Amino acid sequence: MQNTRRAPEVLSPAGTLEKLKVAFDYGADAVFIGGQAYGLRSRAGNFSFEEMSEGVSYAESHNGHLYVAANMVTHEGNEEGAGEWFRKLRDIGIHAVIISDPALVAICVAEAPGLPIHLSTQASATNYETLEFWKSLGLERVVLAREVSMAELAEIRKNTNVQIEAFVHGAMCISYSGRCVLSNYMSLRDANRGGCSQSCRWKYDLYDLPFGQERRSIKGGIPEEFSMSAVDMSMIEHIPDMIENGVDSLKIEGRMKSIHYVSTVTMVYRAAVDAYLESPEKFESIKPDLVKELWKVAQRELDTGFYYGVPDENKQLFGARRKIPEYKFVGEVVSFDAKTMTATIRQRNVIMEGDIIEFYGPGFRHFETKVLNLRLAATGELIDRAPKPMELLLIDLPEAVEVGDMIRKNGESLINLYQPDGKSMTVRA
């Protein structure tokens, strides 16, 4: 491996302006968002030009960058107005646009000169010759296909100076680089033009179809129907490989995820990068805590995707869940009075007197405490239970917190552990 040891960019997703600000607050160097045209997440909270402008200002106040995904596959007529749209992004101050379709690349180069272009993972770049081709057209960065192995990544880095962006965390697609038409058939929603209904995540049955006879459902030894759903990617234990092989940007997937997800995953990868750059020994010492932290947010099971071999059937979601996150997000700190050691929090889920809750914040700060003297911020009235989302509450604390710190609690969930005999057992978290 090359000993580059350069600090890679931590690149986080944001589906809303709130999530964008949280990502930067929790350590992102850059954030990628979607606009209201040309993207692949039509159901995400896509940004207006006004929100983009505010996002640019917030990014720059944190010495960060803001990128806009415009990675749809265009059919005839879809590209109309793209030139004006790209010029608007450039003039707002967007730091780069992420594109997969050559037509949109050509339009952006011709009609919005000065706006940097990153090649989307949808374009399936899997070798250095491809990166050199796009470099010749003026692109400065390529997002590698998720199907690239670590050995291939190392070879690509040795043979090109194009910036490399690679996914390190988030959802995997059952189709090659996400170029799928299953949604088109199953729900008449074009996955390549922003309408994916995630048909691969649905549950399907298997049928025996003897010639000339009625079809019969086949019930096998697994406790749920057949699916084509892949586990999520997590490279948190392999950040050294990403850094040593010269990856310029570590990309976290999830523009439709919660602020709990964005804050936690961003914080964890920020801590991982900083620790490894300080020393490999420091990274190894905190690695178990990083893994544990990631399992506090809702997600599918985790694996390393294609980096260390082609995924087998154990990298698919079937049968009972082998591991389930136990924590749920319950609130965030709005203000803190250091004299009275009282926090004002905005509630997101039910909080009860006596709950054991965890506060966490940027810089990998954590502590647990019991909810004591729970009361309404508006009246000071003591309450046993706060069920109303977004209500302002007061809590007495043993330690100081900061505005923007998040709160979660360990729920009463059951963890399902899949057994080799096809049965499942449950243990209380």
Biggest CA–CA distance in the chain, Å, is 81
Q: What is the pLDDT of residue 10?
A: 98
Which has the higher per-residue pLDDT, 48 or 178?
Answer: 48
Binned at pLDDT 50, 70 and 90, residue 253 comes out as: very high
- Using DSSP's 3-state secondary structure scheme, residue 27 falls into coil
Is 190 inside a domain boundary? Answer: no
The verdict on 303 and 365 lying in the same domain is: no
How many whole angstroms separate alpha carbon 331 and alpha carbon 328? 10
The verdict on 307 and 250 lying in the same domain is: yes
Is 208 inside a domain boundary? Answer: no
Is 186 inside a domain boundary? Answer: no
Give the number of domains in the chain: 2
**pLDDT above 90 for 209:** no
Domain extent at residue 351? 327-412
The verdict on 98 and 242 lying in the same domain is: yes
Q: What is the pLDDT of residue 414?
A: 35
- Structure token pair of residue 421: 């005999």
How many whole angstroms separate alpha carbon 423 and alpha carbon 400? 46
Domain final position from 279, 311, 343 = 311
87-125: per-residue pLDDT in tens?
Answer: 999 999 999 999 999 999 999 999 999 999 999 998 999
Report how far Cα 161 is from the mean position of its chain's Cα atoms.
Answer: 26
The verdict on 283 and 356 lying in the same domain is: no
How many whole angstroms separate alpha carbon 165 and alpha carbon 134? 14
We report the CATH number of the domain holding residue 69 as 3.20.20.70
Q: Is 379 exposed, middle or buried (0-12, 13-18, 19+ CB in 10 A)?
A: exposed
Over residues 25-32, the mean pLDDT reads 98
Q: Is 328 exposed, middle or buried (0-12, 13-18, 19+ CB in 10 A)?
A: middle
pTM above 0.75, yes or no: yes
Beta bridge partners of residue 404, listed in sequence order? none
Phi, psi of 359 (to 5 degrees): -95, 140
How many whole angstroms separate alpha carbon 312 and alpha carbon 275? 32
The verdict on 367 and 393 lying in the same domain is: yes
Q: What is the pLDDT of residue 139?
A: 95
Which has the higher per-residue pLDDT, 316 or 238?
Answer: 238
Is 4 inside a domain boundary? Answer: no
The verdict on 288 and 346 lying in the same domain is: no
The verdict on 98 and 159 lying in the same domain is: yes
Is 301 inside a domain boundary? Answer: yes
Q: What is the pLDDT of residue 420?
A: 38
Report how far Cα 51 is from the mean position of its chain's Cα atoms.
Answer: 20
The verdict on 362 and 302 lying in the same domain is: no
Q: What is the pLDDT of residue 310?
A: 87
Is 185 inside a domain boundary? Answer: no
182-196: per-residue pLDDT in tens?
Answer: 767 777 776 666 667
User: Residue 319: left if φ>0, alpha if ψ -120 to 50, beta else—which one?
Assistant: left
Contact between 41 and 122 under an 8 Å Cβ cutoff? The reply is no
Domain final position from 311, 345, 365 = 311
Low-confidence winner among 40-49, 257-266, 328-337, 374-383 (lowest mean pLDDT): 40-49
Give the chain's mean pLDDT: 86
Over residues 396-403, the mean pLDDT reads 96
Domain final position from 311, 340, 370 = 311
Q: What is the pLDDT of residue 418?
A: 35
Low-confidence winner among 62-76, 220-234, 261-275, 351-365 (lowest mean pLDDT): 220-234
Contact between 108 and 86 under an 8 Å Cβ cutoff? The reply is yes
Over residues 229-248, the mean pLDDT reads 94
275-326: per-residue pLDDT in tens?
Answer: 999 999 999 999 999 999 999 987 788 889 899 988 877 777 766 666 667 7
Q: What is the pLDDT of residue 419?
A: 37
**pLDDT above 80 for 390:** yes
We report the CATH number of the domain holding residue 348 as 2.40.30.10
Over residues 49-63, the mean pLDDT reads 97
How many whole angstroms separate alpha carbon 75 and alpha carbon 70? 14
Q: What is the pLDDT of residue 191?
A: 63
Contact between 60 and 30 under an 8 Å Cβ cutoff? The reply is no
The verdict on 258 and 382 lying in the same domain is: no
Q: What is the DSSP string of 128-188?
A: HHHHHHHHHTT--EEE--TT--HHHHHHHHHH--SEEEEEEEE---SSGGG---HHHHHHS
How many whole angstroms separate alpha carbon 173 and alpha carbon 179? 9
| CB within 8 Å of 288: residues ≥ 6 apart | none
Phi, psi of 31 (to 5 degrees): -135, 140
The verdict on 294 and 361 lying in the same domain is: no
Q: What is the pLDDT of residue 311?
A: 80
The verdict on 371 and 252 lying in the same domain is: no
**pLDDT above 50 for 204:** yes
Is 192 inside a domain boundary? Answer: no
Is 349 inside a domain boundary? Answer: yes
The verdict on 63 and 154 lying in the same domain is: yes
Q: What percent of the chain has pLDDT over 70?
A: 86
125-183: per-residue pLDDT in tens?
Answer: 999 999 999 999 999 999 999 999 999 999 999 999 999 999 999 987 777 666 667 76
**pLDDT above 60 for 377:** yes
